[in-house]
A and B are shown apart, each in its own frame.
Chain A
C-alpha cells in the first residue's frame, strides 16, 4: 500500500513537471508590454522558490523532530534536515539563476538593489551559514542540537525577511510595491493551468531527490 502510494506521487510529480515544461514553452501566453515572451519564466522561476520554501519547511520539521527526540532518532532527523536544506539550496540557486535571466530582459540588469532580490540572496547566505555551523562541530549529537536550533531560528527570520519586509518597501518585483503579480497577468486562467501543476510537480521532484539522497546516505 505504502509502496503503491510512493510510486503514485512520484509518477504524478514527473508527469506534472513534464507537462509544465512542454506547455510552458508551447502554450499561448498573454501579450504584455515589456514582458512579452519572458512571462513564460513564471512557469520555471516561481516554482523553484515554492520548492525551496517547501523543502526548507521540511528541513525545519526534521530539525524540530531532532530536538524533541533522543538518541539515534535525533541523528536520523538531523540527517534528513541537512539533506532537505541541501536540495533546497540547489532550488534556490536555480531560482536565482532563472530570476536573473528574466531581470536582464525586463529590467535591463542581472541584479538590482531590490528588497525581494536581497531577501532571497540573504536566505541563501543564511542556509550556507547553517552548513558552516554544521562543519564546525565534530560531535554528531551536539551538531544535531546546534544545527537544529539554528535552523529553526533562521527559518523564522528568513520568512520575515523574504515574506514581509519586501511588502513594506518599494520593489520592482511583481507582486510587490504595487506591481502586478500572477493573478493580474492572466484573467482567462490559461497560465494558472500550467503554473499550479508546475509548482506541485517541482515540489514533488524536490521531495523525491531528498528521499533518494537519504537512501544513499543510509547506505554509505
Chain B
C-alpha cells in the first residue's frame, strides 16, 4: 500500500512539475476546437461527434507520449522500487486522468462553440454523452499507455508512438463512436447498455494485455 502511495505521489509530483505541459494539452484542445469551429461552424450531429473524437484523440495522444518520457536514470531508480506492471498501472491511471481532462475540456468547448446536438439538449442526454465520452476516453488511454511505453523503450519517438497507436486505436474509436452516437441521439439507457459494455471491454482488454506484457517490455 505504501509503495502504491509513493508511486502515486511521484506521478502527481511529476504532473505538477510539468504544469506547463498540462496547460499545453488544454491549449492544443482549445486551439483545435476553435480551428474546427472556423472551418465547420454548424456541423451535423455525426460530424460534431467525429470532430470531438478527433480533437480528443490527438490531444490525448500528446499527453500519453509525455507520460513515459522520463530520464533513463529515473526509470532505473523506479525499477528498483516497483514491479513493471505496477509502473504500468500507475502510468495508465495518470494517462487516463490526462485523457479524461482533455475529453472534458473538449466537450465543454464544443458545447460552448457549437452547442450540443439538438437531440441532446436535456441534462439526461448530456449525462449519456458524458458517460460514453468518459468510458471511451479511458479505453483510448488504456491502449495508448501500452504504445507509449513501447515507444519510450524504442527511443522516445513521437512519430513512432502515433504509428503504433493509430491502427490499434481504430477498434476503440469505432466502438466509442457507436456508443457516443447513440448517446447523442438520446437513446434509452437500455439501448446504450451494450455499446457502453463494448467500451468497457476495449478498456479492460489492453489493460490486461499490457499488465501481462509489461515485464517483458520493461526488462533491461
Residues of chain A with a CB closer than 8 A to B174's CB: 115, 118, 165, 169
Cross-chain contact of A136 among B154, B209, B213 (Cβ < 8 A): B154
Cross-chain contact of B150 among A150, A160, A165 (Cβ < 8 A): A150
Report Cα–Cα, A18/B146, bound state, in Å: 44
Query: At the interface, yes or no: A193 with Cβ under 8 Å from chain B?
Result: no
Interface flags, A106-137, vs B, CB<8A=1, else 0: 00000000010010001001101100110011
Residues of chain A with a CB closer than 8 A to B167's CB: 122, 125-126, 128-129, 154
Whether the pair B154, A133 counts as a contact (CB closer than 8 A) is: yes
Report Cα–Cα, A165/B213, bound state, in Å: 24
Cross-chain contact of A129 among B153, B164, B216 (Cβ < 8 A): B164
Binds A, one of B14-22, B68-76, B110-118, B155-163: B155-163
Residues of chain A with a CB closer than 8 A to B146's CB: 153
Q: Say whether, besides A115-B174, A145-B216, A169-B178, A153 and B210 are in contact (CB < 8 Å).
A: yes
Cross-chain contact of A122 among B163, B164, B170 (Cβ < 8 A): B170
Q: For residues 168 through 220 of chain B, which have their beta carbon under 8 Å from a beta carbon of chain A?
A: 168, 170-171, 174-175, 178, 194, 198, 202, 205-206, 209-210, 213, 216-217, 219
Residues of chain A with a CB closer than 8 A to B143's CB: 157
Cross-chain contact of A126 among B168, B205, B219 (Cβ < 8 A): B168
Query: At the interface, yes or no: A142 with Cβ under 8 Å from chain B?
Result: yes
Query: At the interface, yes or no: A23 with Cβ under 8 Å from chain B?
Result: no
* Majority secondary structure of chain A interface residues (helix, strand, loop or mixed): helix
Report Cα–Cα, A59/B155, bound state, in Å: 24
Query: At the interface, yes or no: A95 with Cβ under 8 Å from chain B?
Result: no
Q: Say whether, besides A149-B216, A168-B198, A133 and B150 are in contact (CB < 8 Å).
A: yes
Q: Say whether, besides A137-B155, A165-B174, A157 and B206 are in contact (CB < 8 Å).
A: yes
Q: How large is the interface on B (under 10, 10 to 19, 20 to 34, 35 or more residues)?
A: 20 to 34
Query: At the interface, yes or no: A161 with Cβ under 8 Å from chain B?
Result: yes
Q: For residues 171 through 198 of chain A, which have their beta carbon under 8 Å from a beta carbon of chain B?
A: none
Whether the pair B217, A136 counts as a contact (CB closer than 8 A) is: no
Q: Say whether, besides A137-B155, A168-B198, A149 and B205 are in contact (CB < 8 Å).
A: no
Query: At the interface, yes or no: A156 with Cβ under 8 Å from chain B?
Result: yes
Report Cα–Cα, A133/B171, bound state, in Å: 20
Query: At the interface, yes or no: A67 with Cβ under 8 Å from chain B?
Result: yes
Residues of chain A with a CB closer than 8 A to B194's CB: 168
Whether the pair B170, A161 counts as a contact (CB closer than 8 A) is: yes
Nearest CB of A to B147, in Å: 8
Report Cα–Cα, A148/B219, bound state, in Å: 13
Residues of chain A with a CB closer than 8 A to B198's CB: 168
Report Cα–Cα, A220/B174, bound state, in Å: 43
Residues of chain B with a CB closer than 8 A to A157's CB: 143, 168, 171, 205-206, 209
Query: At the interface, yes or no: A14 with Cβ under 8 Å from chain B?
Result: no
Cross-chain contact of B171 among A128, A149, A161 (Cβ < 8 A): A161
Cβ-closest chain A residue relative to B164? A129
Q: Say whether, besides A132-B160, A133-B154, A148 and B216 are in contact (CB < 8 Å).
A: yes
**Beyond A125-B170, A126-B168, A129-B167, 11 extra complex contacts between A and B, CB < 8 Å:** A132-B163, A132-B164, A133-B163, A136-B154, A145-B217, A146-B150, A146-B217, A150-B164, A156-B205, A161-B170, A165-B171
6 contacts between A and B (CB under 8 A): A145-B219, A146-B150, A149-B150, A149-B216, A152-B213, A153-B213
